[in-house]
Every structure is written in structure tokens, then in C-alpha cells.
Structure 1
């Protein structure tokens, strides 16, 4: 008999658990129901319906390939009301890989109104709780801020505005020498924030997310559904997430985005490994932002993931619900599991002491360096010294993921 499910946190507390819902029907036209996310006690907090496109001609809006009010979407909008009544927030996603929606909102005030007002009507008639801005086209920052400002004015403080940058958009470019890095301006806000003047690694949106985050408009963004896949990041390790937090971003504002199936894009992380990484991130960051999955319809429909989820005895009705619930037991429970010790039980404190003992002078370092320079450089570009990088690799037997993790934990930037 399966064990009793643990008590979950209220939807507005703790790390978020989010899925995108874009493939709404299968090839035969059968609808992929959202209700198992509720009936299987998965811990889901938000669903993002994708993708809304602004096409040529004001008012020419589609949800994927059909108008949002097409009869084929009747069951979707009915289920949206159902899940909302159960406390799950439902957002729409604007943009995505199909470019052009934000360009249409970037013209004159007259052009903006012509394209925005039908979008406003769609949000109102479908009772969406928010809008996710997935900017995968090059636009100026003022295009994004005008839309953010208008959404807040029209829908009020409870309306959720999120964005979906790739992970590199939040990471400072490490190739800039320290003496050429722009000075950090004095900001009125308190707490850690990214340097709005420091260029980031290449990404898809054209504007600076650190600049947005540190502006008055950044306060209107609830969080960032950050894409750690398709070559723009890696959720198979905590290193990328740690790097973003080390750059000044609050963990509460950075949701780690993953692909739920190898067929959805490069960089799929098996659910067993992903659960382990989420356990470590929740343990390390008390305000960890959570996880989003792209996308719902085939989540976990992969042999390796199905085997692991089955071993958890979650009593799921569907494969998709099992994948979400397996993360829910990490992210959404009141008493999360404790991370297993790394390196066969060696503690972080023991690693730190080993590193302290192994700090040699430069001549000794050159004589005994045993790790490829490319491997060392991966840690150096994150802001650590050559000696620290080599000592960490020595202490972790060359495991770059563990080395980076301990460096970030004990030598914060």
C-alpha cells in the first residue's frame, strides 16, 4: 500500500512548481487534461498556458495555431477555472520561439494601443492570473517596460507578471577583465542585486535583464522562469544556478527551468538527478525560487524517468502527474528531505579544511598542477583564483561540479 502523501505547503508559500501547457491536444485532437495535477496531489502552484501570438493585423491573436475562442479550447478554459478555484494560478505566455509579438508592441503609441487592447481583452475574458513574457526576439528595453507598466496599470497589484530569459541572460560576462568591469552604482534598493552596468553573456532578448531588475519596472516582475536548457544553461548541476545567485540575484526571483522530456529540447536532466539537485538547492537557499517544466503533455514520458517515479510509490494516475509530484515531494513539502553527503560521506567542512591545507605557493602550484587548464579556467572565470580552483579540484578528485559548489559555499563572491 502506498504511503500517505505528506502535507504540502499552501500554494503561496515555499518554492514554486510550474508547468507550461502548450501542446494542448495530441495529434488525433484529444485534449491533454490538467486535472490530474490536482487529483494526484502533485503540489503544482502555477500553470502557464502557451503560446499567445500577436500576428499581422491588430486583433489577430492566436493561441498556438488557433484563435483563443476556438471551440477546441473550450475544455482548456473550463479546466483553467477549475484549477484556479483550487488555488493554482494560471498565466498566459506571450511570445516564445515564434517571433514578432513583441515587435508589434514596440511601435508608436497608436500602434501599441492597436495591438495591446485585444491582448487586454483576451486576458480579461479568460480570467488569467498573469502573463509570462517570453522574449525570444531582439527588442529594446523600453518595449518591455512599456508593456510591463501598462499591464500593472490595467490589472492591478495582484496580477502576476513574469519573464522567461535563458540562464545566460542573468550571468555577467566573465571575459571582461576585472579592471575593465563597470563600477556598481549606488542603488536605493536594499539587498543583493545584479550589477545593472555589467554586460551579460549572450542571450535572446536584446536588452539587459540586470538593468531591468534594478529599475522601477523590475519591481513589477514576480520572478524569472529561467531556461536552463537548449545550450543556454544546465540543470544537471547546481553550478549554473549558484553562479546566478553569486552575481547578485535573489534565489526567490530565479525559477530553474527544465525540459520535462528529452524530446522537448537539449539538456534533459533525468528526474532522479533533478530531484537531488532540487534537494540541494532548497537546502542551500531558504528562499529557493522553484522549478518550471517545459512542458506538461509529455512530462516524464521517458523510460528512465518512469522507472524512478514508479519506485517512489506516488500512486499517480498519469505519467505527467507522476513527474510533477516527484518534484512536489521535494519542493512543496513542509519538511523537505536532507541532501545526501557528497563524496561518500565527506562533509563540506572537511573539503574546506583540505583546500586550506593544499594552498601551495605559485611555484609549487605549477609543479604539481594535475588538472587540464580548460577545467581550471571554468572555475577561474566564475571569479575564483587559480590556486583556489586547483585546490578545490584536488580536494574533490577533479569533480568540477563539486569543486564549484564548495567554492561558492565557502568563498562567496
Structure 2
């Protein structure tokens, strides 16, 4: 259902990577705009990968122009016409894309060209930089500057750090310091799709989000990333608990950034039969004005699942705001979680 307030906070963002079922049938995202009480603001199609051949960019395992994606691109156009912004996710757990972009000028130009082309050809509204490999701060700044120069001031640039990286540069998959990046290029970054799962964050309580804001991050720029089912990664939070936490944060921060879900095709509570219900429930909880007639948030199907704001990051950092660590001096450092792999679209080599 199209909404006149799609761009308003809090955002409801959903990633879409598993595009076909095991039998090769297309998984439609049209219910996200046709079902009542759904106000998804952004869809991020995943994942674009830069490969050894500069001209061999792929969407998961196939070229973006492969016929298997005809329905996907057509539906995303419909979503855009309905007021939903569509971004492309670059990178993810399949490493290599950013290593190739983080080289000398000529190599950067060669590997950036197909990214530019797919954005133009598909009319994307933005790009999500999911950097899960070491990249230099200079390298990511060069990429952001180039994208902004090529696509103008209204083009959305987002990043997808793990939540721990916003608190401690050592707990980081990307290599560079996100606080330094925010100080240097925060004006060019729309928001952060922050991963509160897979051992890198905890969405079962509001504490970690509160700590991130207390450190100086503007709440409107921090979107809480969730796995939409335990099948998509560790750290799934049961609905009733999630409901309480998000209600509190939405009340506590008048410019709460919103939520993102990884990923669409099997989202609970509806699962593979009705994956849009995750977005429907989030709409009812966070954007009740866009969910007229849906009823009390999470009031049904709950048994189907287991179990002062800051707006200027650079000023806050310059004041040296510190985050209290209740375990400081009493225990060893929290171990860094082991690498993990996503397997989506039911084909080998496809990763977030």
C-alpha cells in the first residue's frame, strides 16, 4: 500500500537477496506495496559483487542483466513508482569487492565502472556499502566522493557496519574507523544499516542502541538491523521482546532511525508463505499512521515464533564523550565472533 510519508522516520528497510525459491520460481516483493498496513520505506536488493574480471560484476551469481532477473527489476520499478526507494547492496560477506576498489587509481576506475553502469541502467535510488573486509579509510572516502559526484545530492549512500563497530573500532569487519568516517563524510551518508546480530550486536535489549547514541551517533542515522528469522543468522529476537524494545526506543528518541530486516523471503511471522507480514508488523509498531485497520501490533500470531538525542557527530566526538563499560577491568575482552557465511538464493557462492 503506497504511503504519502514513505520518507519519514522511522524507516522500515528490508533486504531482498533470495530472489527465487528452490524450484527457480520468482519470489515477488509486490506484497510489500499491495498488502494493507505495510509502509516499507526502502528495499535493498542484494548482493552486487565485483569479481576479478572488471566487466564481470554479478548480482549474486549472475549478471544483473540475466533473464532470471527480469521480474525482479520490473517489480522494483513498480515499488519505486509507489514511493519506495530502491538501493543496491554492494559487497557483504563474499569478500573481494572492496579489496578491488581499494587499489591504485586505474584499478579503481576499472572496477568502479560496472557499479556505475548498473546504478544508471537500473535507475537505483542509492547504494548500500556493506564492507565486510579490510578497506582503508581513504579508500571508502574515495568511493563515497565518486558516487556523490556521479549521482548527485539526492542519491542515497548508506553503509552496513556491525553494531559493535560504532562503539569500538577493534570490533569491526570493515577495517576503517566509522567514527572517523562520520566526522569526515557524515554529511554524505544517509544512515547506517547497523547489524545487531550474528554476535556483533544485541537487539534483545535497548542498551546497545542507547550506548551508541550516548557515544555521539545521531539516532536518525542508526537503523537497527535484525535477522527476520533464526534461519537467517544468530541473534533473532522473539516478537514480544522486540516489540517492547522498539516501542521504548521509538518513544525515547523522537528521531529514531528505524529498523532493517535481513532478509525478505522467509520473514516471520508469515514465513515463506507470507513474508510481508514482518514489514506489516513493523509498520503497525513504528508507523501506526500508515497501518490503519491493522489492529494492535503483534497481537496475533505471536506464538508462531520461538521463544537526550545527538545530531552533530563531529561536535560530540570533539567533546570526548565516553561510554561506560560495566565490565571494564573485571573481565577479558569480549571475543570477536568467528567468520560466518550466508547461503541464499539456493545456489553455491551466493553471500550477503
TM class by smaller structure: 0.7 to 0.9
**1:207: which partner in 2?**
176
Deviations 1:218-238 (A, max 9, x none): 210000000000000011110
Residues 296-307 of structure 1: matches in 2 within 5 Å? 296-300=264-268, 305=269
SS in 2 for 1:95: strand
**2:343: which partner in 1?**
none
Q: CA deviation at 1:383?
A: 9.5
Higher mean alpha-carbon deviation, 7-16 vs 76-85, is at 7-16
Contact preservation (8 Å) 2:9, 2:220: no
Verify: 1:124 aligned to 2:120, yes or no: yes
Verify: 1:33 aligned to 2:28, yes or no: yes
Cα distance in 2, alignment partners of residues 26 and 45 from structure 1: 25
Verify: 1:381 aligned to 2:349, yes or no: no
Contact preservation (8 Å) 1:8, 1:332: no
Verify: 1:66 aligned to 2:66, yes or no: no
Contact preservation (8 Å) 1:21, 1:297: yes
SS in 2 for 1:51: strand
When the two structures are superposed, what TM-score results if normalisation uses the length of structure 2?
0.81
Verify: 1:21 aligned to 2:16, yes or no: yes
Residues 163-178 of structure 1: matches in 2 within 5 Å? 163-172=159-168
Cα distance in 1, alignment partners of residues 180 and 20 from structure 2: 39
Match of 1:272 among 224, 237, 240: 240
**2:258: which partner in 1?**
290
Deviations 1:61-107 (A, max 9, x none): 00001110000000000001000000000000000000000111111
Verify: 1:320 aligned to 2:275, yes or no: yes
Contact preservation (8 Å) 2:203, 2:226: yes
Structure 2: runs of 5 or more not aligned: 298-322, 331-352
Cα distance in 1, alignment partners of residues 204 and 217 from structure 2: 20
Cα distance in 1, alignment partners of residues 103 and 73 from structure 2: 31
**2:284: which partner in 1?**
329
Structure of larger gyration radius: 1
Match of 2:202 among 230, 234, 242: 234
SS in 2 for 1:246: helix
Cα distance in 1, alignment partners of residues 34 and 273 from structure 2: 10
Q: CA deviation at 1:272?
A: 2.3
Match of 2:44 among 41, 44, 48: 48
Cα distance in 2, alignment partners of residues 201 and 320 from structure 1: 36
Cα distance in 1, alignment partners of residues 57 and 101 from structure 2: 13
Measured at CA, do residues 142 and 13 of structure 1 come closer, stay the same or move farther in structure 2, by a change above 3 Å?
same
Q: CA deviation at 1:275?
A: 2.0
Cα distance in 2, alignment partners of residues 284 and 35 from structure 1: 33
How many equivalent residue pairs? 299
Q: CA deviation at 1:381?
A: 1.1
**1:368: which partner in 2?**
none
Q: CA deviation at 1:273?
A: 1.8
When the two structures are superposed, what TM-score results if normalisation uses the length of structure 1?
0.69
Higher RCO (CA < 8 A, seq sep 6+)? 2
Verify: 1:281 aligned to 2:249, yes or no: yes
Residues 77-88 of structure 1: matches in 2 within 5 Å? 77-88=73-84
Q: CA deviation at 1:12?
A: 1.1
